[in-house]
A and B are shown apart, each in its own frame.
Chain A
Amino acid sequence: MNSIVCLKEVPDTETRIEVRDGKIVEEGIQYVVNPYDEFALEEALKWQEQAGGKVTLVSLGPERARESILKGLAMGADEVYQLADDAFLGGDSFATAKALAAAIRKLGDYDAIFCGRQAVDDDSAAVGIMLAEMLDLPHVSVVSRLDIDTETRTARAERDIEGGKEVVELPLPAVITAQKGLNEPRYPSFRGIRQARTKPFAVWNVADVDLDSQEVGAAGAKVEVVEITPPPERLGGRIIPGEPAEAAKEVVRLLREEAKVI
């Protein structure tokens, strides 16, 4: 079973995000593999262990992302195609999905495409699903459990919905977007880390995926970011003193009389 895993580098969730002059301040940001993409990669590796085949990483992002991609190889992926042309950068979900779709079309020969349910920077949760539509594949998103029947080439997935799960059946090839809880991503082994640097690492530009630079990245984006602002400050910090019984009584009174939420 051959899998393609889309991997993005994002700021660590523990990173403080600063906004200056309508933009995110990039200095000082710690970058990591998007946490949901680790669940996607782990799932691909798990199915490779059971059914053979190879795991190919496709990653769109700046040169800088090399270290994060190497982590993916160290976890066990076999090869990588990095879409690192400057023309790919600055895109929205649509332009990014378009570039990934073109690269994946070129690669061919896959049974499943695994993506994270969303990247924790832009939070659009759209690229994987748009990719499915552009490749004319079925998809299932926000998957917290997956079974694949490699004989019949079908998948059965549970996806999280409000207050429960939907069980979805679909034929392969398909796009599957991973939710936290799908699995426990492995840590790279020392051997894996050593081997990562020897694995095939291709860097593709726009021409390599048969697209025009006007179709991808900022030029191909359908969403224009007008401005980025910090969220409104929250004025908290009021401590209600007293013994538990006393403080609890006062808080409940304030919730009714002052905040009027109860």
Chain B
Amino acid sequence: MGNKVLIVAEQRDGVLKKVAFEMLGVGAELAAALGGGVEAVVLGTDLGSLPDSLAEAGATKVYVADDPALATYSSEGYTQTLAALCERVEPAILLIGATAMGRDLAPRLAARLGVGLASDCTALQIDGERLLATRPIFAGKALAKVKLNGDPQIATLRPNVLAAPEPVTGKTAEVEAIAKAAGESRAKVVQILGAGEGEIDVAEADIIVSGGRGVGGPEGFAPVRSLAKTLRAAVGASRAAVDAGWIEHAHQVGQTGKTVTPNLYIACGISGAIQHLAGMKTSKVIVAVNKDPEAPIFKLANYGIVGDLFEVVPQLEKEFKTLLSE
């Protein structure tokens, strides 16, 4: 077994996902504890200066698989290439972002390598030479600390939880081109459909403004969307609002939606059902606006305003606008 940490740096359209840097940060700490380095691999085509960015963020070596066949993600194509790399490099730990891509890739790669997987981790440390991973279960109603037997130890890291290191301008690393492994992917991505123009996904957002039953209907999301736009935030929703058909499921936060960790979560007209709270309670700061002073959301909120969201939310927007224009 080696003592390296290898991270899979995901890029879309030539832009690295933020979680790649977050993994380099924690990866460097884990590698230091094991006496090795943190290395990165990036797959795609026309990757330009991405290896330099990874080096500046701490990667001691960058493997680049540049091939038109890797331009769009495919589970089997990426699995074959990464499995071949893992067998050669023998990392002790392999980290992948818990993104739509990473959550699709990691189980396939783990099964290919005959090892287990710690999914969607929120903390990673070394305990007795082995990885000790913390992962929320029951959508965050409990935390499990797990260890993996077998190598490499594969974990996916939840985005937005750990800090990314400050890049060191001009820092370089060895770059090694690697070949795409032979073989076709049977499942092929033939098209990518964007969401509404400029919409930010709740899973990636720094700020989320969410609406619940209290918005009363699809039109009731107007002040929520407007505030989100001002803050360049994502629009979230509770299950009640999604199940009522007021907004698409992609916006749902909670146990049958997305678990989120933004810096700021503003809950508007959300009472706080257990399954919703589970999905957002690790937000750094929570603001709640609700008519009902007994609403459970207030017990979690750092700042609560008891009032009608249709009066309070536009006022919040006005104040934010004033602040942001200063």
Residues of A at under 8 Å CB distance from B? 11, 13-17, 19, 24, 35-36, 92-94, 97, 120-130, 132-134, 138-142, 144, 156, 158-171, 174, 179-181, 221-231, 234, 236-240, 244-245, 247-249, 251-252, 254-256, 259, 261-262
Contacts and interface: CB of A to CB of B under 8 A. Distances in A.
A167 B192 contact: yes
B111 A134 contact: yes
A238 to B, nearest CB: 6
Contacts of B188: 168-170
Contact of B255 (A120, A160, A227, A228): A120
The 4 closest A-B pairs by CB, nearest first: A222-B116, A248-B315, A138-B186, A133-B111
Contact of A180 (B107, B142, B144, B249): B249
B163 to A, nearest CB: 15
B302 A162 contact: no
A140 B117 CA distance: 19
Interface string B101-134: 1011011101110011111100000000000100
A245 B306 CA distance: 12
Contact of B103 (A13, A125, A252): A125
Residue of A124, A165, A226, A254 with most partner-chain B CB within 10 A = A124
A160 B252 CA distance: 13
Given A236-B286, A256-B323, A130 B108 contact: yes
Interface in B213-260: 231, 248-250, 252, 255-257
A94 B106 CA distance: 12
Contact of A252 (B195, B250, B284, B319): B319
Contacts of A139: 75, 108, 187
Contacts of A94: 110-111, 115-117
> In which size bucket is the chain B interface?
35 or more
Contacts of A122: 137
B187 A170 contact: yes
B304 A238 contact: yes
Contacts of B106: 126
B194 interface: yes
Residue of B79, B111, B264, B319 with most partner-chain A CB within 10 A = B111
Interface of chain A, main secondary structure: mixed
B264 A255 contact: yes
B65 to A, nearest CB: 20
Given A120-B139, A239-B293, A239-B304, A163 B315 contact: no
A30 to B, nearest CB: 12
B195 A164 contact: yes
A163 B200 contact: yes
Interface in B278-326: 281-282, 284-287, 293, 298-308, 311-312, 315-316, 318-320, 323-324
Interface of B: 73, 75-76, 79, 99-101, 103-104, 106-108, 110-112, 115-120, 132, 135-150, 185-195, 199-201, 203-204, 207, 231, 248-250, 252, 255-257, 263-264, 273-275, 281-282, 284-287, 293, 298-308, 311-312, 315-316, 318-320, 323-324
A170 B248 CA distance: 26
Nearest to A92: B116
B107 A228 contact: no
Nearest to A235: B302
A189 to B, nearest CB: 22
Nearest to A254: B303
22 contacts: A14-B273, A24-B138, A94-B115, A130-B108, A132-B108, A133-B111, A138-B75, A138-B186, A159-B100, A159-B104, A161-B101, A181-B248, A223-B146, A230-B143, A231-B142, A237-B304, A244-B308, A248-B312, A252-B320, A255-B303, A256-B323, A259-B284
A148 B143 CA distance: 39
Contacts of A16: 141, 274
A240 B201 CA distance: 29
A35 B185 CA distance: 30
A179 B150 CA distance: 31
Contacts of B191: 166-167
B189 A228 contact: no
Given A122-B137, A169-B190, A237-B298, A229 B285 contact: no
Contact of B275 (A14, A158, A223): A14
A159 B193 CA distance: 10
Given A123-B120, A223-B146, A229-B145, A180 B252 contact: yes
A13 B255 contact: yes
A142 B98 CA distance: 13
A93 B315 contact: no
Nearest to A97: B111
Contacts of A97: 111
Given A13-B274, A19-B142, A251-B287, 5 more contacts: A17-B138, A126-B119, A159-B100, A231-B141, A259-B264
Contacts of B75: 129, 138-139
